[in-house]
Structure 1
Amino acid sequence: MKRRMLLATTAILSASLLAAGCGKPASEPQNSAAGAQTPSSEPGKQVTLRFATWDTGDLLKIQETIARQFEAKHPGVKVQVEAYGDGFDQKLAASIGANNAPDVMYMWDFPTYSQNLEPLDAMMSADAGLKPDDFYPGLFNYVKIGGKTYGMPAGFTTRVMYYNKKLFDEANVPYPKAGWTWDDFKETAKKLTNPAKKQYGFGIRAENDPYDLQGFIWSNGGSFISPDGKSIDGFMNGKETADVLQMFGSLVKDKTAVIVGGKNQQSGDDVFKAGKIAMWESGVWPLDGFKEAKIDVGTVVMPAFPGKKLKGVIAESAVSISKSSKNKDMAWEFVKYYASDEAIKLRTSDLPVRKSVVAEKKLDQDPLYQSFYKMLEACDDTPAFLLNPKWNEVNRNLTSAINTIMLGQNAKDSLDKAVKDSEKFFK
């Protein structure tokens, strides 16, 4: 699954590249009759579908396997997997700008690309085989712009709290349980901090992606942006937002948390594996690495603020169809297959989006995975980047402010500056 910190820094360049070519697609949008019957290529004619992915290495091999299995089900169709890697956004934007977009592509930044994507609503409603009720409904909130669906959920992760059971046992501290509060968290972190061993209760990232922090902000009743996406003053620098970020900065100041992942520093995942932090919040990405390192790890839903509803945020991968594709019907068949039980079971870098696959694998009963699905139930808010098309510019100022807060600066002052520097994007 693509990490947003890298992608957000490239989205501004991508938008400028799109501006050069988005007004004149290579072909006019085609009317789709997907769902009436499974399309097939004309006899003797090869149809090539281009599929752009950001995956590399072993994950890319999985994409190739999915492509070959789709080809086996659709004689005469060739799926050309194009690995854009970490340059995904720049390469995708360049291909769209040159009127040479792939037919199908991984997608996350719908505000930037929606005008170049084919809405899927008509195809979805006409295709009884899709079984939309088998998807977790909150996932569709992240693939819509203006009420239209531009992507099919393919994989996701929520964020949970990892904890090192060995360190808890050594300190005779009970494991955290669902329903705990941030006051419980802070007290637990203090008990698990041992300066003599350079061991800390928690790790704070040197560079924080505001996207990942939104669940905490929402849980305290705050938001980075107004619900209509038109204002940040009083939201990004509001008390509820500032209090959350100040709380994290204070953990570093009182030495119950340590900064990780900065220049010449180990990543938080590696520090956790080394037994130097007892708790670490993240998505599903590091879990396999923790298992391989034989860490006796547990997961639990995030703490809540007293008297307030727990909220979470989703990192989601989707697959979309280019508006300029000349093979929309077959592209839809590939998108549908990519979101099928068969294909979902092959992918390992994110969590299954279909309830049937989760039930078959019993992930919602697995102590390590059930917290991710419990957090999914709390993910009903809309991220800031989906509410305003210029959020990527705002995000740079907010990121800078947050990082200074984690290093000891006053949260309200830092956020006020970020708002002042960003208000020009709302005029």
Structure 2
Amino acid sequence: MNSKKIFSLLLVLSLFVTVLAACSGGNNKTNEGSTSTATNKPTEDNTKAEETPSWQTEKITLKFASWEDPKMEGELMKAFMAKYPNITVEKDETINWPWTDALTAAASASKLPDVFWVESVPVGVENEWLLDLSPYWDQDEETQAIYPNIAKQAVYGGKRLASPTFQFIMGVYVNKTLLEKNNIPLPGYNWTITEMIDIAKKVSKPSEHIYGISGPWGNLSFNEHWPMANDSALGYNTFDGEKFHFTNQQWIDGYNQQLELRRLKVEEKMTGEEKTKVFGEEGAWPLQKGHVALGIDGSWNMNSLPPEMEKSGAGVVDFYPYPAGNAGQKMPVVLDYIGVSSTTKHPEAAYELMKFMSWSKDGWLKRLELNKELNINIDKFPVADFPEVWEKLTGELKLDGAKAAIGLLGDAVPDYNKVLPGWREFSAWASDEQKIYEKFANGELKPADKAKEMEDKANEFVGQALQRLSQ
């Protein structure tokens, strides 16, 4: 009996220990689970931390160079640094005019600023100054808002080597006072090229030094603007993105028309001697003096020219959209460009600075605030369609014609002067070597006589240069 009791007692004790072990094992599993959960929490936090790009957390210094208004530039840099406190932006004072020469010197010394405005994109591409922005641009949703005609610019061989900054509108300064004095009704903002020429001829009184029309830099540039206004397949100066089409009749007609207006003295082409005699100064601007009815020029004069003329009694002026041709009203626009250095150590941060200082929504909203604070008038416009920006901007414009012009920017045609390789070489051949434009002006040659040769030569220069940059 006693042995059986002892055996039973041992059996019970054994079972009890087993249960305790099982419970203890369960607790260990629970603890392991708790430990696992505890060790996983930092891993989750690390994942979240990794979601913040390193360029937003590391201490970074970026150099910046532009020909922006110094006050505007400085305040925009401060705003960017407030948005990204880890980034310090410094103005590179060594980059100044002549701009391309200064960049060349900086590149030779391996001291290119991280972000800089570009006077000639092809020069920057040929010298390998510019970073390919494609990896950042293509993943950036904001780039979808950039107007398609503008977004195509500065791309070589599939690489986006610069970005547009702003667009300046090429329009017409209409001296309403001069038209009223000649009993000519004011045209609507949806006017046509035919109306513009008709008004110019009616106002012109060359014997009194009153002229119907003038152009920027002494050139009406009808051959550059008319083809795209009459044929939607053509761009600026007939360029379609690949080739020029100077044999197109619109280019020939435009050139002939401007030559005729010059011959009839409808176009203002006063000599320095004539200006001295009439205005008392050789460098006087007849448009500013109230002696030109229609002045083709850029929006960069939009905030200075009209108030100056009204104050001096030279006339009340509005800034009209460029008139329509058969293809509608196509605004000619002039673009500036910005790039990121190929040697920057912080490409992501540099890209964000580039955006903010030029075309981004946040950058433009801040710019519009600063326009008021710094008393800087708007003379350049966004290259992207951000409705909030355009709504605020439109409310700040003083000229009704300018408001009409910006409503047409969705179908604007950008110039190529800062991005098209080979064009400067062609211009040197045509102007300096062949003196073609001079011979057109004196009647020695007609545009139709040289159109084919010029077309072939331009396409040769540009085609070879594009091929070289696209390799």
In structure 1, the partner of 2:246 is: 236
Q: Which has the higher contact order (CA 8 A, sep 6+)?
A: 1
Aligned length: 380
2: CA distance, partners of 1:209 / 1:35: 55
1:324 equivalent in alignment to 2:343: yes
What is the deviation of 1:103?
0.5
What is the CA distance between 1:285 and its match in structure 2? 0.7
Displacement of 1:272 in angstroms is 1.4
CA contact 1:269–1:286 (8 Å) conserved in 2: no
Q: In structure 2, what residue type is equivalent to 1:149?
A: R
Match of 2:436? Answer: 401
- Residue 281 (str. 1) matches residue 316 (str. 2): no
CA contact (8 A) 2:220 2:296 kept: no
Shift of 1:406: 4.6
CA distance in 1, matches of 2:304, 2:365: 25
Correspondence for 1:301 among 308, 321, 337: 321
Q: Which residue of 1 aligns with 2:176?
A: 165
Corresponding position of 1:390 = 422
Corresponding position of 2:117 = 106
Of the structure 1 ranges 172-181 and 409-418, higher mean CA displacement relative to structure 2 is found in 409-418
Distance 1:120 1:213 in 2: 34
Letter in 2 for 1:100: K
Return the alpha-carbon distance in structure 2 between the equivalents of residues 241 and 216 of structure 1: 7
Query: What is the aligned partner in structure 2 of residue 28 from structure 1?
Result: none
CA RMSD of aligned residues (A): 3.6
Task: Report deviation, 1:156.
Answer: 0.9
Pick closer, same or farther for the CA change 1:260–1:359 going to 2, 3 Å.
farther
In structure 2, relative to structure 1, the CA distance for the partners of 1:272 and 1:193 (3 Å cut) is: same
Q: Which amino acid aligns with 1:62?
A: M
Distance 2:154 2:291 in 1: 38
Q: Is the 8 A contact 1:337 1:343 kept in 2?
A: no
Q: For residue 351 of structure 1, what is the aligned residue in structure 2?
A: 381
Of the candidates 70, 74, 82, which is equivalent to residue 64 of structure 1?
74
Contact preservation (8 Å) 2:223, 2:250 = no
Aligned equivalents of 1:241, 1:296: Cα separation in 2:
33
SS of residue in 2 equivalent to 1:272: coil
Residue type at the aligned position of 1:300: Y
- TM-score by length of structure 2 reads 0.69
How does 1:83-102 map onto structure 2 within 5 Å? 84-102=95-113
Q: String of CA shifts for 1:133-176, please: whole Å, max 9, x gaps.
A: 44434331234333443334331112111101111111111112
Corresponding residue of 1:193: 204
- 2:130 corresponding residue in structure 1: 117
Structure 1 residues 249-264: aligned runs within 5 Å: 249-259=259-269
Q: Which runs of 5+ in 1 are unaligned?
A: 1-33
Contact 2:333 2:415 in 1 (8 A): no
The separation in 1 between residues aligned to 2:51 and 2:438, in whole angstroms, is 49
- Residue ranges of structure 2 left out of the alignment (5+ in a row): 1-49, 276-280, 372-377, 465-471
8 Å CA contact retained: 1:385, 1:391:
no
Q: Which moved more, 1:334-343 or 1:143-152?
A: 143-152
- Work out whether residues 260 and 268 of structure 1, in 8 Å CA contact, stay in contact via their aligned partners in 2: no
More helix by percentage: 2
The answer on whether the counterparts of 2:333 and 2:413 sit within 8 Å (CA) in structure 1 is no
Q: Distance in 2 between matches of 1:405 and 1:278?
A: 25
> Cα gap change, 1:288/1:303 in structure 2, threshold over 3 Å: closer, same or farther?
same
Change in 2 beyond 3 A, CA 1:181/1:323: same
Match of 1:412 in 2: 448
Letter in 1 for 2:254: V
CA distance in 2, matches of 1:267, 1:66: 39
Distance (whole Å) between structure 1 residues aligned to residue 108 and residue 270 of structure 2: 39
Using the TM superposition, give the Cα deviation of residue 38 of structure 1 relative to its aligned residue in structure 2, in angstroms: 7.2
**Which one-letter code corresponds to 1:39 in the other structure?**
W
TM-score using structure 1 length: 0.75
TM-aligned CA distance change 1:385 to 1:219, over 3 Å: farther
User: Aligned equivalents of 2:174 and 2:130: distance in 1?
Assistant: 41
Residue 188 (structure 1) shift: 0.7
**Largest Rg, 1 or 2:** 2
Equivalent-residue separation in structure 2 for 1:268 and 1:157 (angstroms): 25
Indicate the percent of aligned positions where both proteins have the same amino acid: 20
1:40 Cα deviation after fit: 3.6
Q: 1:147 to 1:176 in 2, by over 3 A?
A: farther
**Residues 228 and 206 of structure 1: CA distance in aligned 2, closer, same or farther (over 3 Å):** closer
Shift in CA distance, 284/253, structure 1 to aligned 2, threshold 3 Å = same
Taking the aligned partners of 1:264 and 1:96, their CA distance within structure 2 comes to 47
Which secondary structure state, in structure 1, belongs to the residue aligned with residue 73 of structure 2? Answer: helix
Rounded to whole Å, the distance in 2 between the matches of 1:209 and 1:325 is 42
Aligned to 2:55: 39
* Contact in 2 for aligned 1:203/1:260 (Cα 8 Å): no
> CA deviation digits over 1:214-254, x for unaligned, max 9?
3323224467566463x65xx23543312211111111111
Give, in angstroms, the shift of residue 96 of structure 1: 2.8
2:355 is aligned with 1:336: yes
Change (3 A) 1:215 1:36: farther
Instruction: For residue 213 of structure 1, report the CA deviation from its aligned partner.
Output: 5.6
> What residue number does 2:394 align with?
362
Q: Is 1:373 matched with 2:406? A: yes
Q: CA 1:258–1:341 in structure 2 vs 1: closer, same or farther (change >3 Å)?
A: closer
CA distance in 2, matches of 1:72, 1:142: 31
- Residues 225 and 236, structure 1, Cα contact 8 Å, conserved in 2: yes
| CA offsets 1:297-322 (integer angstroms, 9 cap, x no match) | 123222233x4444343211232211
1:393 Cα deviation after fit: 0.3
